[in-house]
């Protein structure tokens, strides 16, 4: 992912103005690192199908990382999770102030679509990518999941409702990352298959996060842990043991499905996915 890191650093959001900290705040959570999981999924699909499109695909990978980073900044706000730590650094409302954090989140959200609109693809591909990112990251996807998550704090939901919550809040953007890779290489049928795979992967990712929230320290996780008592997390509702069994079952199913992929796609994604699929163990 070093190529992506270099591309990100070359395309950081900038703004020349009289504001003393706005530009620094815009860039802080991006340069702080992170897993870069969603960009890696998109680039993995592209490299498996057509390596000549990797450089162009960097624009879409960056757009996903920008939108994901905005969501983390807003998720950490006092009105939501009120978290002081993200990616091993103070969150923006702690490092600067709440107004700055809100506005930086807004800016990264819109910058994601500016980056996509300028990507070196055909008009058709650009529109498809913008639609995919907006529909999964917006009002009927990640934002909907966040709204449900916040509204039902201290109000336990049933397991199917929790899966609906986290399908929207977490899984859809992961699924979109895989599908956007397929859109770039012109394989729409593969995109639908990868989207379904990504929904299951995203649910596993959320169950694992819930497990790690109660088994890791804040230093290990790079963010505040043991902070989900009021939330509808899989561990809160199912208990740690049942959440582990749910994660193991999903992990086994995903590995089996991964092994059924085309050889190039399986090889390209395996190194990244096996590590994450098994990270709760």
47-64 pLDDT per residue, tens = 999 999 999 999 999 999
Considering its fold, how many domains does the chain have in total?
Answer: 1
Question: With 90 as the cut, is the pLDDT of residue 223 above it?
Answer: no
195-221: average pLDDT = 90
CA distances for 6 relative to 56, 58, 72, angstroms = 14, 10, 22
Nearest partner of 22 among 88, 78, 95, 86, judged by Cα: 95
**Assigned token pair, 194:** 């990868």
Are 117 and 42 in contact by the 8 Å Cβ rule? The answer is no
Question: With 80 as the cut, is the pLDDT of residue 221 above it?
Answer: no
- By three-state DSSP, how is residue 85 classified? strand
Are 197 and 178 in contact by the 8 Å Cβ rule? The answer is yes
pLDDT category, 279, cuts 50, 70, 90?
Answer: confident
**Assigned token pair, 271:** 């190194």
d(CA 176, CA 191): 9
Q: Structural domain of residue 81, as residue ranges?
A: 2-277
Are 106 and 69 in contact by the 8 Å Cβ rule? The answer is no
Q: What is the pLDDT of residue 226?
A: 66
Other CB atoms within a 10 A radius of the CB of residue 17 amount to: 8
Centroid of chain to Cα 268:
19
Are 246 and 208 in contact by the 8 Å Cβ rule? The answer is no
Question: With 90 as the cut, is the pLDDT of residue 230 above it?
Answer: no
We report the CATH number of the domain holding residue 185 as: 1.10.600.10
Q: What is the pLDDT of residue 193?
A: 98
Long-range contacts of 121-128 (CB under 8 A, 24+ apart): 121/56, 121/184, 125/183, 125/184, 125/186, 128/183
Q: Which secondary-structure segment (H or E) carries 268?
A: helix 263-277
Q: What is the pLDDT of residue 161?
A: 97
Question: With 80 as the cut, is the pLDDT of residue 42 above it?
Answer: yes
CA 138, 15, 4, 70 dihedral sign is negative
Question: With 80 as the cut, is the pLDDT of residue 251 above it?
Answer: yes
d(CA 25, CA 12): 11
135-152: average pLDDT = 97
Instruction: Report DSSP letters for 145-190, one per residue.
Output: HHHHHHHTTTSPPPHHHHHHHHIIIIIHHHHHHHHHHHHHTT-HHH
**Assigned token pair, 248:** 């193991």
d(CA 192, CA 5): 28
d(CA 209, CA 190): 28
Q: What is the pTM of this model?
A: 0.95
**Which residues lie below 8 Å from residue 227, measured CB to CB, with a gap of 6+?**
81, 83, 213
d(CA 129, CA 112): 11
């Amino acid at each position: 992912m070093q190529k992506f890191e270099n591309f990100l650093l070359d395309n950081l959001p900038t703004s020349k103005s009289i504001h003393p900290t706005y530009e620094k705040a815009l860039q802080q959570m991006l340069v702080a690192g992170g897993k870069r999981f969603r960009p890696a999924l998109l680039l993995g699909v592209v490299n498996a199908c057509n390596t000549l499109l990797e450089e162009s695909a960097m624009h879409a990978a960056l757009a996903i990382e920008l939108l994901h980073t905005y969501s983390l900044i807003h998720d950490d706000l006092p009105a939501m999770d009120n978290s002081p730590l993200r990616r091993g650094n103070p969150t923006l409302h702690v490092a600067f102030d709440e107004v700055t954090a809100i506005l930086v989140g807004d800016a990264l959200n819109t910058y994601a679509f500016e980056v996509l609109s300028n990507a070196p693809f055909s008009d058709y591909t650009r529109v498809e990518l913008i639609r995919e990112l907006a529909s999964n990251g917006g009002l009927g996807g990640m934002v909907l999941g966040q709204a449900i998550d916040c509204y039902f704090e201290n109000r336990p939901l049933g397991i199917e409702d929790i899966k609906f919550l986290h399908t929207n809040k977490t899984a859809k953007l992961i699924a979109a990352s895989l599908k956007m890779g397929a859109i770039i290489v012109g394989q729409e049928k593969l995109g639908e298959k990868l989207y379904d795979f990504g929904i299951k992967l995203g649910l596993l990712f959320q169950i694992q996060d819930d497990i790690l929230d109660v088994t890791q320290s804040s230093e290990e996780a790079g963010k505040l842990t043991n902070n989900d008592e009021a939330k509808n997390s899989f561990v809160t509702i199912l208990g740690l043991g049942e959440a582990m069994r749910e994660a193991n079952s999903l992990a086994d199913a995903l590995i089996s499905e991964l092994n059924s992929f085309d050889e190039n796609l399986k090889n390209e994604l395996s190194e990244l996915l096996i590590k994450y699929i098994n990270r709760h163990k």
